[in-house]
């Protein structure tokens, strides 16, 4: 058989960090161990029944067996606009300011191809979602990292970005509620972001994947609620986390009309939009009853409280996340994020994600997903306690 070499672009792509994590966890499970996998971000609860039923009804409609419109059905764009008006008070033109996406990840990779040329510069949060790197590498562009530090609330410090760097930047990724840190951003931060972007002519791409998940009664803020936001960028909203629709691969981008047109144009050459039945179900999710969303958030908050209180009780000094379904936890002294994650997997059979997989500033932390029930999280705490890495006295100092 002939072996055809992959392109230079494919060879340059970063390694899929989480694929290796899944493989290692699978190996330990195959050895007969009961593995508690808290290393991934895959919602564990089913899609609400009214959304599934909308798909079932739509799937038998012969109109949905044909090619959908290239840029998606107008009713889904109108539903997305109505959703933003209802939830955030943001007015959007369904045709000019919304693009239907094959999941949020696709949009995050595509927008870079739309806006950057080889050698152009993008600002990327560190730690951050690794697929930001993938899109930038595919565009042959250059990354400048924005450190997210605990002392700054895991928000980028724009004042620390050298003026000569800011002058080169064409695109900036943000993500709040944040993966992996669980931090949230407020309106004041987004106003500062708009000012920074306007000054340097930067397109802001806000990854709003965990939009619905805020704790203690605090509702996450949309970037598009900020005056001037639509002039300076877009927001990418996925239904994966809000409605437990990760496998459905449906999302949308909203905001700056020129960026939306570029996304639509690129997708014209790649796809013929989503299966119509999925679009109908997505519209049902956005426009239908939202009790399921509130119940989802309450469930994650109960899990968060179980995990964090349990870890504090065994002496691990940790802080509760304010949003997302992740907890970002400092590793004990004497360990790297990778060595600590390896220890938990090999001796406690608990999978966590090493912070180094999210960037250099992720070193010193591990990420735990709240995607297992409370009993399983409590079991994970007890297994970690059994390693005797912490003492209760430490948490009182």
Residue identified by tokens 């932390």 is: 365
Per DSSP, the three-state class of 250 is: coil
- In the chain, where the domains are located: 8-46+291-396, 49-287
Asked if the model's pLDDT at residue 7 lies above 70, the reply is yes
Which phi and psi (to 5°) does residue 391 adopt? -125, 145
Give the total residue count for the chain: 397
Strand-pairing partners, residue 251, are 101, 238
Average confidence (pLDDT) over 11-20: 80
User: 177 preceded by cis ω (within 30°)?
Assistant: yes
pLDDT in the model for residue 396: 42
Alpha-carbon torsion 26, 31, 32, 34, what sign? negative
Average confidence (pLDDT) over 300-323: 97
Q: Which CATH entry fits the domain spanning 49-287: 3.50.50.60, 1.10.10.60, 3.40.640.10, 3.30.1490.20?
A: 3.40.640.10
User: What does the pLDDT look like over 255-290, one tens digit per residue?
Assistant: 999 999 999 999 999 999 999 999 999 999 999 999
Average confidence (pLDDT) over 60-84: 97
Q: Burial, 359: exposed, middle or buried (Cβ in 10 Å; 0-12, 13-18, 19+)?
A: buried
Q: Both tokens of residue 110?
A: 């595509």
Average pLDDT value over all residues in the chain: 95
Which phi and psi (to 5°) does residue 79 adopt? -65, -40
Alpha-helical runs (H) found in the chain: 8-12, 17-30, 49-59, 74-88, 104-115, 131-138, 163-166, 187-200, 229-232, 239-242, 257-268, 276-287, 291-313, 337-343, 374-385
CB 168 within 8 A of CB 202: no
pLDDT in the model for residue 79: 98
Asked if the model's pLDDT at residue 393 lies above 70, the reply is no
HSE, CB side, 13 Å, CA atoms: give it for residue 319.
13
CATH topology for 8-46+291-396?
3.90.1150
Q: Do domains 8-46+291-396 and 49-287 have the same CATH topology?
A: no
Average confidence (pLDDT) over 112-117: 96
185 falls in which pLDDT band (50, 70, 90)?
very high
HSE, CB side, 13 Å, CA atoms: give it for residue 50.
12
Asked if the model's pLDDT at residue 394 lies above 50, the reply is no
Q: How far apart are CA 396 and CA 305, in angstroms?
A: 19
CB burial readout 194-224, b (16+ within 10 A) else e: bebbeebebbbbbbbbbbbbbbeeeebbbbb
Q: How far apart are CA 73 and CA 92, in angstroms?
A: 16
Average confidence (pLDDT) over 386-392: 89
In this structure, of 5-19, 37-51, 241-255, 312-326, the range with the lowest mean pLDDT score is: 5-19
User: What does the pLDDT look like over 342-365, one tens digit per residue?
Assistant: 999 999 999 999 999 999 999 999
pLDDT in the model for residue 23: 85
Which phi and psi (to 5°) does residue 372 adopt? -135, 155
User: What does the pLDDT look like over 209-225, one tens digit per residue?
Assistant: 999 999 999 999 999 99
CB 389 within 8 A of CB 332: yes
């Amino acid at each position: 058989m002939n072996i055809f070499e992959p392109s230079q672009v494919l060879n340059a792509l970063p390694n899929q960090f989480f694929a290796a994590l899944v493989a290692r966890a699978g190996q330990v499970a195959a050895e007969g161990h009961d593995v508690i996998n808290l290393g991934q971000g895959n919602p564990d609860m089913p899609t609400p029944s009214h959304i599934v039923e909308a798909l079932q009804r739509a799937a038998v409609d012969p109109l949905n067996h044909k090619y959908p419109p290239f840029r998606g059905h107008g009713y889904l764009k109108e539903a997305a606009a109505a959703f933003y008006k209802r939830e955030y008070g943001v007015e959007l033109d369904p045709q000019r300011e919304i693009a239907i996406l094959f999941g949020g990840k696709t949009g995050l990779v595509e927008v870079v191809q739309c806006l950057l040329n080889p050698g152009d510069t993008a600002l990327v949060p560190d730690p951050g979602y690794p697929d930001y790197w993938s899109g930038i590498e595919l565009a042959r562009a250059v990354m400048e990292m924005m450190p997210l530090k605990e002392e700054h609330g895991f928000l980028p410090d724009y004042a620390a970005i050298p003026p000569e760097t800011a002058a080169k930047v064409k695109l900036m990724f943000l993500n709040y509620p944040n993966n992996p840190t669980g931090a949230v951003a407020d309106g004041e931060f987004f106003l500062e972001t708009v000012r920074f972007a306007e000054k340097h002519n930067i397109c802001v791409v806000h990854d709003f994947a965990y939009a619905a998940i805020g704790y203690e009664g605090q509702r996450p803020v949309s970037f598009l609620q900020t005056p001037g936001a639509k002039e300076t960028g877009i927001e990418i909203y996925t239904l994966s986390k809000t409605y437990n629709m990760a496998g459905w691969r449906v999302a949308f981008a909203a905001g700056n009309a020129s960026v939306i047109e570029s996304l639509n144009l690129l997708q014209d050459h790649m796809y013929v939009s989503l299966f119509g039945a999925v679009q109908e179900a997505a519209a049902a999710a956005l426009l239908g009853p939202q009790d399921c969303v509130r119940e989802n958030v309450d469930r994650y908050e109960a899990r968060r409280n179980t995990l964090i209180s349990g870890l504090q009780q065994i002496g691990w000094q940790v802080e509760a996340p304010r949003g997302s379904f992740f907890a970002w936890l400092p590793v004990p002294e004497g360990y790297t994020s990778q060595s600590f994650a390896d220890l938990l997997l090999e001796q406690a059979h608990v999978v966590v994600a090493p912070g180094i997989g999210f960037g250099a500033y992720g070193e010193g932390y591990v990420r735990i997903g709240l995607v297992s029930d409370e009993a399983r999280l409590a079991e994970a705490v007890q297994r970690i306690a059994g390693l005797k890495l912490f003492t209760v006295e430490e948490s009182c100092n």
